[in-house]
Amino acid sequence: MKKTYEIAVIPGDGTGPEVVAEGLKTLETAAAKYNFACHICTYDIGGEHYLTTGETISDQQLDSLAQKDAIFLGAIGHPDVKPGILEKGILLKTRFALDQYINLRPVKLYEGVYTPIKDKLSEHVDFVVVRENTEGLYAGAGGCLKRGTADEVAIQESINTRKGVERCIRYAFEYCQTRNSARKITLCGKTNVLTYAFDLWERTFYEVAEEYPDIEANYAHVDALCMWMVKNPEWFDVIVTDNMFGDIITDLGAMIQGGMGIAAGANINPAGVSMFEPIGGSAPKYTGQQKINPIAAILAVQLMLDTIGEKKAATSVEAGVAKVLREDIKDVAAGKMGHSTSEIGDLVVDYIENSD
């Protein structure tokens, strides 16, 4: 009997549906070739759905997502919905409810892709950011007083628990051990200013590091790390950090590896249901035009396959992406690819079907 995975799909808004279509095409091709099956269940969640029903994501939908083997998400964001509603009501709610406490974001320069740090080669840019995904400034702690008056006060607090910090750091060490032979991990923080939060992070980091003597553990302040990500990306293998810094440095990482069109991420609950997504937004102005690059969504499928244990299929998808980036695509930016969205998907699919 073939193994069958129950996959939830949330195409979402804007260009989400068109890049998700290419990701699913890749997934089905990999499944046929590597002898497993995927049962797809599509969810109507996003800005459009919110505007017609007033609903972001229901408890029933969350319960249903929790039963799946994995979730594939396109993009959430709608120009007619006030900022914050969909982000908090859908994305963060799902990450928190399913306890996807790791946000894993690879930063890798594939051959043939233009990067603003153009003298760096593919071998110099290949690291992963492990971002804590359920705490920090994202926990929503704080409040405001006298809103809208001259005496207004706003407080937004960063919540860091020993348990939350430790499980994230442990995941990063475990991941570092299996990734490659570099065995290097960097804690990204701000111990010189955020002396409570990052004191907890730093102590926990070095305590856990003692259990992994074969991994070189070091620390960098977030501002200096941004500089080094651009100047010396080859220094990094695994970077572990809190939610807010992780959000910021992975947008920088996406640019270093060539752009949002090829940057993917995984929201991981190692013991539960994980969610995989291209990390860019819904790009409303390109909706339906077949101009957006589906590689980010296809690499999200690769992360999904790797996480659920279909390692051969994951390797084949990545090799297909690498080939298309090296040989077929003119530019990774939307509208400049020299191909339509679905043509790029077809090129990856062809590679998977015809490689051995």
Which residues contact ligand IPM by CB under 6 A?
87, 91-92, 247, 279
- Closest CB to Mn ion belongs to which residue? 247
Minimum separation from the CB atom of position 200 to Mn ion (A): 23
Q: Which residue, 279 or 348, is less far from ligand IPM as judged by CB?
A: 279
Cα angle for residues 250, 204, 206 (degrees, 5° grid): 90
Q: What's the sign of the alpha-carbon dihedral 203, 169, 134, 232?
A: positive
87 binds, among Mn ion, ligand IPM, none (CB under 5 to 8 A by kind): ligand IPM
Q: Which residue, 247 or 318, is less far from Mn ion as judged by CB?
A: 247
Minimum separation from the CB atom of position 277 to ligand IPM (A): 7
Q: Which residue, 47 or 278, is less far from Mn ion as judged by CB?
A: 278
Dump the DSSP string for 30-98.
Answer: HHHHHTEEEEEEE---SHHHHHHHS-S--HHHHHHHTTSSEEEEEE---TTS-TTHHIIIIIIHHHHHT
Minimum separation from the CB atom of position 247 to Mn ion (A): 4
Chain contacts with Mn ion (rule: CB under 5 A):
247
Among residues 255, 263, 256, which one has the least CA distance to residue 232?
256
Q: Which residue, 260 or 301, is less far from ligand IPM as judged by CB?
A: 260
Q: Which residue, 281 or 284, is less far from Mn ion as judged by CB?
A: 281
18 binds, among Mn ion, ligand IPM, none (CB under 5 to 8 A by kind): none
- Closest CB to ligand IPM belongs to which residue? 87
Q: Which residue has the tokens 């051995």?
A: 356
91 binds, among ligand IPM, Mn ion, none (CB under 5 to 8 A by kind): ligand IPM
- Helices and strands of the chain, counted as H and E runs: 12, 12
Compute CA distances 211 → 64, 174, 179, 202, 208, whole Å.
38, 11, 17, 15, 6
